[in-house]
Structure 1
Amino acid sequence: MMPPKPPARPDKVSLWRYARLFRSDILSAQPARLYRAWMAEFRTPFFRSYLLNQPELVKTVLKDRPDAFPKSDRVGEGLRPLLGNSVFVTNGATWKRQRRIIDPAFEGGRLRETFPAMWAASEAAAARLETVTGGNVEVEGIASHAAADVIFRTLFSIPIDHDIAQAVFDEFRVYQRSQPILNIAALLPLPNWMPRLFRRDTKRSAARIRSLIAQLTAQRSIAISQGDAPDDLATKIMTTPDPETGDTFSTEEMVDQVAIFFLAGHETSASALAWALYLAALYPNWQDRIASEAKVLDECDFGVMSKLRISRDVFRETLRLYPPVPMMVRENQCPETLRDRAVRPGSQLVLSPWHLHRHSRLWDDPDGFNPDRWATENGKACMRDAYIPFSAGARVCPGAGFAMIEGPLILSRILRDFRVTCVTGKTPVPVAHLTVRSDAGIWLRFDRR
């Protein structure tokens, strides 16, 4: 049994069809040959794009020579109204300075320190589900609520029902559906000098979110100056100096960084958790194994995570089949030769977890759901060379370790108490908004075990 695939994959896709499908369903626009190609070229009158699926090429771009392949400005422009000059969109010296300040907050020891906040969020998520048992529930909303709760508890030590946290969450739901994963300029033949246009509701929502985040940041700055700020991620980041210059983030810079923490830490986690719950419903034998394993969740103890092996493997398999960020775009600065093909400076290099994780020449049963694969030789090899749900190399997501605690924990906590089943006639179709979501939500039925 396999999870539903994207809509039928065409053999070829014209530039016009790409333009037409881009905002509504970029995933179905991908031709079938891209799931078996090592490298593919996409030409426009102004620039060329190359999809890189060969593990050696991915390693070159992400790990071996990342400075030679910075993030494309075309991609950054699409998220600029919300993210400003955050670590997600910057390059070069600015990005390196930002990471020097941010990375210490996400070191291994912080996982244990933030675990109680994640535990509290998982308990709150299970409690909210008590009110919807016996009925059909749209789980993307449930997952978003839980993931946002984790972010606010770990970042600012406030629960999701705090007035500002709730306002940010509500406004982000508006923003999420108005903004595709990339600005259309990323793949259409528009020259770099041409101004990018944004929908009014997208700009309005971004401005509102940033205003609310600025309030939280200002309040925390005052608490830090008074010496009574909680020891959470926000305090850690705001008080960590750049080891090279001694400078800390300004207020405006901190707003930029909090915006990306919320986007990356909430939106991506919500996407993965929603699809994990769907796959659990689709494969009840795996769901029952998770539920049985989850009986160890009886008290807040970080050590319990080592016992959630099945949940971890299911969550890892979910990230393979439904990577929250399906495509990443880099731009080469100098002439390159990739697979004996000359690649001009300024070309777009697309690294696609969506394709790489389902590549027919790399994975055994690439479209199948099999959490046991991670114990096989093929699974271990592919995890090293062809598995990048959090990117890889210098720009790997600093919160990857957090995500691999948060996801399995909440998944286990929910399935410990609730059985989830699919809703007839509500098969979700994956599409790309800010992350991989369903075209019409993911609907499941929740019943008390």
Structure 2
Amino acid sequence: MSTQTEPLDNPADGKTGLFYPPHAQPLRGDEGFIHATWKFLRNPVEGFGPLAYNQPIVSVPNFGKKLHVITDPEGMMQVLQHEATKFTKTAIDARILGPATKEGLLSVHGEQWKRQRKAVAPMFRKRHMEDLAPIISTTLDAFCEGLDAEPDVELNAAMAELTFDVLAKALLGDPQGIDGERLKYATRNMVTSAGTLRPDDLIPFPAWVPRPISPKGSRALKKLKKAADVLIAQRKKSPVENDLVSLLIAARDPKTGEGLSAREQRDNLIGFFIAGHETTALTLTWALYLIGMHRPTAERIRAEVMAICPEGNVSYDQMAELKFTQAVIDETMRLYPPAPMLNRLCHEDTVVSGREIKAGDTFLLCNYVMHRTERLWDNPLAFDPDRFIRDPKLKAKGAPYMPFGAGPRICVGAAFATMEALMSLARLVRDYDVKIPEECYPKPLMTVTLRPQGGVPARMVRR
């Protein structure tokens, strides 16, 4: 299989017109254990070799048990959906995210998770999405005014600014008394601190063993908890219709009528702080990078948006018409899934992808690798949004495209994230030329999420 990962002499293929964007350098397969482990710790998406890219399952010894790397949709669906009750998140997930979201959806299991999911899921139904779309529009208006004044940006930082403001206004009711800049900074510090792997993370400590946090990460976590407590107290005193905090407080299990505890409310809110703007910001960052490096894509998006919305912002009802723009977002998340890897612990003997699995074995479910394998995709390293138009089945359940995971624990806010990304990308590409230096070729670097190493400098030129 092709393993092109460094900049080509001409990353845009002159014959096909396709662009070949950055790809984390995989292992060759002949590295020793120490070198391979060092590569994985430095950047987990670089820690996979030819076997992972060419076989549906790879198994290696792991402290008396086995670690199974799944890079195939059938195995992914079995673990995440068909036999989901046999698997839980691993202890390392609890140790990484537990300090921030111990009692929230991101971390809990079993009946506690079911109860919370039932209570929270209605918050992201269509009727709430329609209500939130105009607020995204007004946020985009203010963001574009800022771009006109300061067109030179670092895309990751700029998109984090945009998506946090959307979160504050559309989901949190534009809270007063909260320092938005400090909160943004704290959220990103928390993700970076918690998501950077360390050698001790490879040791299978029990979930109850605490994972030390850096002083910077500890300060960030305290700020997040304080902000969440303030917001919840405000909403209990003065509810705001249809904002996330008020909905969290009012959330009830539809069968039992049971609500969330104060700790569950806070930890879920912190989870939405982390996931609600970081993942969408990265999708927009990578999408604008790809568009800036491939002008034909920019022109096609602009023409499509102009045909249905020549001015102002795309409405909720118009989004379905933006088929190519949506395909660009889909292709972006194929190449750069916001959460490029999931962990699971097996609690019951079973068989996955034809391999016997024992209780106590662990799994790495690597959609980043799955999205780039030649046995599943045509020309997988190329940026080719039309693949999703040529074959809509690529997004069907069980297909090799799983940017949000799959099964009952799939991202509860996926619909909101997709709406926000589509509306934002349509407006920005219609109204601005995205100018990126030709030499900019940032390697994807995984913390909890998948960021462009070194950032992406850009100039947003109003058309």
Q: Which amino acid aligns with 1:3?
A: P
Distance in 2 (CA, whole Å) between partners of 1:8 and 1:74 is 23
Q: Which SS does the other structure have where 1:130 is aligned?
A: helix
User: Pick from 239, 247, 252: which aligns with 2:250?
Assistant: 239
**TM-score (normalised: structure 1):** 0.92
Contact 2:119/2:252 (CA < 8 Å) preserved in 1?
Answer: yes
**1:215 correspondence with 2:216:** no
Instruction: Quickly say closer, same or farther: Cα 1:426–1:359, change in 2 above 3 A.
Output: same
**1:35 correspondence with 2:53:** yes
Instruction: Quickly say closer, same or farther: Cα 1:366–1:49, change in 2 above 3 A.
Output: same
Residue 101 of structure 1: aligned partner = 119
Q: What is the CA-CA distance between 1:260 and the residue it aligns to?
A: 0.8
| Deviation per residue, 1:205-255 (Å, 9 max, x gap) | 11211111111111011113xxxx233232222112222332212222111
Q: What is the CA-CA distance between 1:362 and the residue it aligns to?
A: 0.8
**1:359 correspondence with 2:373:** yes
Q: What is the CA-CA distance between 1:23 and the residue it aligns to?
A: 4.4
Q: Which amino acid aligns with 2:409?
A: R
Contact 2:95/2:210 (CA < 8 Å) preserved in 1?
Answer: no
Give the 5 Å matches for 1:255-404: 255-295=266-306, 296=309, 298-299=311-312, 301-377=315-391, 380-381=393-394, 383-384=396-397, 385-404=399-418
Q: Which SS does the other structure have where 1:179 is aligned?
A: helix
Instruction: Quickly say closer, same or farther: Cα 1:272–1:185, change in 2 above 3 A.
Output: farther
Residue 437 of structure 1: aligned partner = 451
Q: What is the CA-CA distance between 1:184 and the residue it aligns to?
A: 5.5
Give the 5 Å matches for 1:147-186: 147-158=163-174, 163-180=178-195, 186=201
User: Pick from 123, 139, 146: which aligns with 1:128?
Assistant: 146
Distance in 1 (CA, whole Å) between partners of 2:409 and 2:148 is 40
Residue 94 of structure 2: aligned partner = 76
Distance in 2 (CA, whole Å) between partners of 1:328 and 1:13 is 24
Which moved further from structure 2: 176-185 or 392-401?
A: 176-185
Q: Which SS does the other structure have where 1:395 is aligned?
A: coil
Which moved further from structure 2: 391-400 or 318-327?
A: 391-400
Instruction: Quickly say closer, same or farther: Cα 1:14–1:148, change in 2 above 3 A.
Output: farther
Distance in 1 (CA, whole Å) between partners of 2:249 and 2:262 is 9
Residue 203 of structure 2: aligned partner = 189
User: Pick from 122, 138, 155: which aligns with 1:139?
Assistant: 155
Q: Which amino acid aligns with 1:380?
A: K
Which moved further from structure 2: 291-300 or 349-358?
A: 291-300
**1:6 correspondence with 2:24:** yes
**TM-score (normalised: structure 2):** 0.89
Q: What is the CA-CA distance between 1:153 and the residue it aligns to?
A: 1.4
Distance in 1 (CA, whole Å) between partners of 2:168 and 2:49 is 40
Contact 1:431/1:438 (CA < 8 Å) preserved in 2?
Answer: yes
Q: Which SS does the other structure have where 1:441 is aligned?
A: coil
Q: Runs of 5+ in structure 2 lacking a partner? A: 1-18
Q: What is the CA-CA distance between 1:422 and the residue it aligns to?
A: 2.0
Q: What is the CA-CA distance between 1:52 and the residue it aligns to?
A: 1.4
Distance in 1 (CA, whole Å) between partners of 2:48 and 2:438 is 28
Which moved further from structure 2: 174-183 or 71-80?
A: 174-183
| Deviation per residue, 1:171-201 (Å, 9 max, x gap) | 2233233232667655x13342755332222
Q: Runs of 5+ in structure 1 lacking a partner? A: none
Distance in 2 (CA, whole Å) between partners of 1:125 and 1:119 is 10
Contact 1:23/1:180 (CA < 8 Å) preserved in 2?
Answer: no
Distance in 1 (CA, whole Å) between partners of 2:92 and 2:310 is 45
Q: Which SS does the other structure have where 2:382 is aligned?
A: coil
Contact 1:10/1:29 (CA < 8 Å) preserved in 2?
Answer: no
Contact 2:26/2:47 (CA < 8 Å) preserved in 1?
Answer: no
| Deviation per residue, 1:319-368 (Å, 9 max, x gap) | 00000100001111111222443222111111111011112111111111
Q: What is the CA-CA distance between 1:432 and the residue it aligns to?
A: 0.5
Instruction: List structure 1 segments (4+ residues) > 6 angstroms apart after TM superposition.
Output: none
Contact 1:363/1:382 (CA < 8 Å) preserved in 2?
Answer: no
Contact 2:71/2:369 (CA < 8 Å) preserved in 1?
Answer: yes
Distance in 1 (CA, whole Å) between partners of 2:72 and 2:26 is 24
Q: What is the CA-CA distance between 1:119 and the residue it aligns to?
A: 1.3
**1:230 correspondence with 2:241:** yes
Matched residue count: 440
**1:448 correspondence with 2:459:** no
Contact 2:24/2:443 (CA < 8 Å) preserved in 1?
Answer: yes
Residue 62 of structure 1: aligned partner = 80
